[in-house]
């Protein structure tokens, strides 16, 4: 199993989540985050609320999937999140060592099923 973390523009989140749902993603977690670094001015986060609107809006999308689904889901994220401009985001793929469903005790890929 693998965990996918995608940091994308908040403006494209609905499109990305919709595409992932159509691609059969077992479950998705969406969190609003603030990026610091990679060209972002950290002083921007200390400005007044009216100026804070200039800060980039970033959303993190996380999911765990079977190894065989990784390439398809990454391609789905890339296709649905890409605007062609700097700041489109990044996707990380990391191994998941173990998964256990609390309700049923199912382990491994079976923990991803309803």
Interval 51-101: pLDDT, tens: 554 556 899 999 999 999 999 999 999 999 999 888 889 999 999 999 999
Q: What CATH number is given to the structural domain containing 23?
A: 3.30.70.120
Range of the domain at 7: 2-112
Bridge partners for 59 per DSSP: 8, 32
Length in residues, the chain: 114
The model's pLDDT over 13-63, given as tens digits with 9 standing for 90+, comes to 999 999 999 999 988 999 998 766 665 555 555 555 555 545 568 999 999
Domain count, the chain: 1
Q: What is the pTM of this model?
A: 0.81
Structure-token match 């609003």, residue found: 32
DSSP E strand stretches across 1-114 = 2-9, 29-33, 58-65, 89-95
Look up residue 2 and give its DSSP letter.
E
What tokens appear for 38 in the block? 């990679």
- CA end-to-end span of the chain: 16
């Amino acid at each position: 199993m693998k965990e996918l973390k995608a940091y994308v523009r908040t403006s494209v989140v609905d499109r990305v989540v919709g595409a992932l749902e159509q691609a059969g993603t077992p479950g998705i977690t969406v969190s609003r985050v603030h990026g610091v670094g990679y060209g972002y001015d950290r002083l921007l986060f200390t400005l007044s609320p009216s100026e804070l609107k200039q800060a980039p809006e970033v959303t993190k999308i996380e999911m765990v999937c079977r190894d065989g689904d990784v390439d398809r889901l990454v391609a789905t994220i890339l296709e649905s999140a890409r605007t062609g401009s700097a700041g489109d985001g990044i996707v990380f793929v990391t191994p998941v060592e173990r998964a256990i469903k609390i309700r049923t005790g199912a382990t491994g890929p079976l923990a991803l099923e309803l």
